[in-house]
Amino acid sequence: MTMFMKQALVFMISAMVFVPIFKRLGFGSVLGYLMAGVIVGPYGLELIHDAENVTHFSEFGVIFLLFVIGLEIQPRRLWSMRRDLILLGGFQVVACAAVFSTICYLSGLALPVSIVIGFALSLSSTAFSIQTMLDKNLFQTDFGRTSFSILLAQDLFAIPALAMIPVLLSSNVANAHGSHTSWWVVILVILGVVLASRYLLGPVFRLIAETRSREVFTAATLFIVVGVAALMQEIGLSSALGAFLAGVMLADSEYRHELETNIDPFKGLFMGLFFIAVGMGVDLDIVFHKPHKLLMFAVLYLFIKAAIIYAVAKLSKKDHQSAKLTALYTSQGGEFAFVIFGLLTGLSVVPASSLAYLTVIITLSMAVNPIFIMLNEKYTKCKNENDKTEPKYDQIDDESAQVIIAGFGRFGQIFGRILRAQQIPFVAIDHDAAQIELLRKFGNKVYYGDASRSDLLEMAGASKAKYFILAVDDMETSLKTAKVVRSHFPHLKVFARARNRGHAFELMDLDIHLIKRETIDSSMNFVRDLLLDMGYGADKANKIIKRFHTHDEEMLLEQYKVRDDDKTFVSVAHQGTAQLAQVLLDDANNEESQQRIQ
């Protein structure tokens, strides 16, 4: 077995073991990958020794991630983010860099070195933050967009910073490394990428699509992403930023979704490898030497950075919740800091041991950050439960209505519109304040209240009413309301909406007057339209639908009798399917025989 195969197996097995465990514990997949890297790396079990090459290879994960994000952000949307990019993102970098630079300078480092390290510490992990938000489906939220603006601004700041650091610290070293690419070359290359993405790639993809070869299309996608990233890196820009730019330029392409589909599997694999590589870089000797001190510094670093980001977000008119979550998800250290520390090592302006110490602190901040996110989620959940107060429901006037409608969403509104047209008085109650506000704008009279409360139903005139329409969407609330109505107002005829068969069975247990599964009628009418369009006569189509409906209702009652016996329930369902097929076949044969006789 080759070394490559062994390493691949180690990576896959470690990910399969640690990621599910950490996700089950609520820490997320990122921390699982980090821990896998620590265990298999050169400072752990030493199953993988060449951490540096793995890190370079795994950077494709960040490249693919930013390309996919770019595909989701069209140019006009990126332009709309300019305020957050300039003010929020820019001010965050400056403020964090100023604070950390001051701390470094007071610790005895030279001012230029302090500025560079302070800037490195001000950066966050784009890959870590975005992956964590994607795992929790939070990327498209307000704070998700704010966080992305900060992360993108940091990448934009990092580009000129990497060019300026050698100049700031040592002009001799800068000369030794050769002159940097002129800005006019950078502008020309970016302009070329923009024009090619806009006018050249469309026709190219159309030609490739005509081959109907998925493999060729995937290869072309990978070539574009990696090619643009390599080109940007060649002229001194961030390869990840180049991939993001390529994605933005292709966001309006007709092949956008196919591009995303082709890249997504590679993105997931390389992102996992990237975080494993970060974990492999943790020097456990340093960690075990003074673990409490290191952890304290990592937590302090997170706290200071989060406080600054929160303050900047509040100054940008973000609400408390959005500012807090933005600070929480972007307070960890960033992978760009590792690049800057590597540059400092080459310039020999900071002791290697100090940079190794800072590297461990940044990595620990990535590891600790998911724990704080989880703790915040638990705290918020507990706080919301404790802060729950009795809502102030509307005072319902007893209008002596014949009908009470519980739940005035799409289902309940149909009842209301028809009853109003027939001038039949009714009382409508709903528990969704936002829905009620919207309905009232259109002239609907709806009361805000909980229809599962007997006192509120009494107030609404349930003692005098004749009918109760149970149109509540949530099954648990529906059953709770049905029990209250049957217990306190048994004279009411309840017409209940059922979400599915299981819901219908539970309503049948309560002896509800009439139960209608919410999609059964609309589905059958739609099938009838299909049969008519296929050439069936109206009478024949109606007979088929009527026969199906009758048989389905009979099966509902049969299944209700055996609902607690899974084996018998399944058997009855199979028998019912066979019976329906036979019944419809017999009807068709009978109709054909009658036509022959005639």
| CATH code for the domain in which residue 299 is found | 1.20.1530.20
Q: How confident is the model at residue 172 (pLDDT cuts 50, 70, 90)?
A: very low
pLDDT, residue 144, reads 82
Domain presence at residue 29 = no
The residue whose two tokens read 């959005």 is 322
Contact 193, 231 (CB under 8 A): yes
Q: In sequence order, which residues have a C-beta less than 8 Å from that of residue 474 and are 6 or more positions away?
A: none
Q: Find all residues with CB under 8 Å of 338, minimum gap 6, and list them.
A: 281, 359, 362
Q: Is residue 576 part of a domain?
A: no
Would you give the end-to-end CA distance of the chain in angstroms? 80
Q: Is residue 306 part of a domain?
A: yes
Q: For 130, left (φ over 0), alpha (ψ -120 to 50), or beta? A: alpha
Which among 518, 539, 559 is the end of a domain? 518
Domain co-membership, 290 together with 233:
yes
pLDDT band at 56 (very low <50, low <70, confident <90, very high): low
**Domain tally, the chain:** 2
Which pLDDT value is given to residue 74?
63
- At residue 432, the pLDDT reads 79
Banded model confidence at residue 302, pLDDT cuts 50, 70, 90: very high
Q: Average pLDDT for residues 255-274, to the nearest whole number?
A: 75
463-483 burial: b if 16+ Cβ within 10 Å, else e = eebebbbbbbeebebbbbbbe
DSSP-derived 3-state class of residue 246: helix
At 454, which CATH number? 3.40.50.720
Asked if 446 and 361 sit in the same domain, the reply is no
Q: What digits encode the pLDDT tens for the residues 341-374?
A: 877 776 777 887 788 888 888 888 888 888 888 8
Q: Which residue has the higher pLDDT, 12 or 241?
A: 12
> Quick count: other Cβ atoms within 10 Å of Cβ 15?
21
Closest Cα to residue 449, out of 419, 482, 472? Answer: 472
Dihedral of the alpha carbons of 561, 563, 567, 571, in degrees to the nearest 10 = 60
Write out the two tokens for 512. Answer: 């509800």
In this structure, are 427 and 280 located in the same domain? no
CA pair distance 337, 127, nearest whole angstrom: 13
Specify whether 360 is located in the same domain as 411.
Answer: no
Is the same domain home to 443 and 358?
Answer: no
Tell me if 80 is assigned to some domain: yes
- Return the ∠ at Cα 311 (arms to 310 and 314), rounded to 5°: 85
Residue at a domain's end among 491, 518, 545:
518
Nearest to 332 by CA among 309, 356, 355: 309
- Domain-terminating residue out of 501, 518, 535: 518
CA distance 116 to 528: 72
Does a structural domain hold residue 415?
A: yes
- Give the pLDDT score at 307: 94
Asked whether residue 280 falls in the same domain as residue 360, the answer is yes
Shared-domain flag, residues 195 and 292:
yes
Q: Could you tell me if residue 514 is inside a domain?
A: yes
Which of 300, 305, 408, 361 is closest to 97 using CA atoms? Answer: 305
Residue 434 has pLDDT above 80, yes or no: no
Helix, strand counts (H, E) of the chain: 28, 6
Give residues with Cβ within 8 angstroms of 302, minimum separation 6: 331, 332, 365, 368, 369, 372
What angle do the packed helices 256-280 and 51-72 form, to 10 degrees?
A: 150
Q: What's phi and psi for 552, nearest 5 deg?
A: -65, -40
Q: What's the mean per-residue pLDDT of the chain?
A: 79
Any bridge partners for residue 448, and if so which? 430
| Calpha distance 185→176 (Å, rounded) | 21
Any idea how long the chain is? Answer: 598
DSSP-derived secondary structure letter, 1? -
Phi, psi of 145 (to 5 degrees): -70, -40
89 part of a folded domain: yes
Residues 231 and 312 in one domain: yes
Q: Which residue type does 523 have?
A: S
Within this chain, do residues 421 and 321 fall inside the same structural domain, yes or no?
no
**Pairing, β 426-430 against β 403-406:** parallel
19 falls within a domain: no
Range in 133-147, 401-415, 430-444 the model is least confident about: 430-444
Q: Structural domain of residue 283, as residue ranges?
A: 53-371
What is the rounded distance in angstroms from the CA atom of residue 198 to the CA atom of residue 190?
A: 12
Pairing of strands 514-517, 426-430: unpaired
Q: Do 413 and 285 share a domain, yes or no?
A: no
Least confident residue range of 46-50, 219-223, 478-482? 46-50
- Say which DSSP state 219 is in: H
Q: 3-state SS of the chain: helix, strand, coil percent to 5? A: 75, 5, 25
Residues 263 and 408 occupy one common structural domain: no
Residues 410 and 355 in one domain: no
331 burial type by CB count under 10 A (0-12 exposed, 13-18 middle, 19+ buried) = buried
Tell me the C-alpha distance between 531 and 483, whole Å. 41
Among 502, 515, 518, 475, CA closest to 566: 502
Mean pLDDT computed over 469-495 = 90
Is residue 158 within 8 Å of 238, Cβ to Cβ? yes
**Residue 207 predicted with pLDDT over 80:** yes
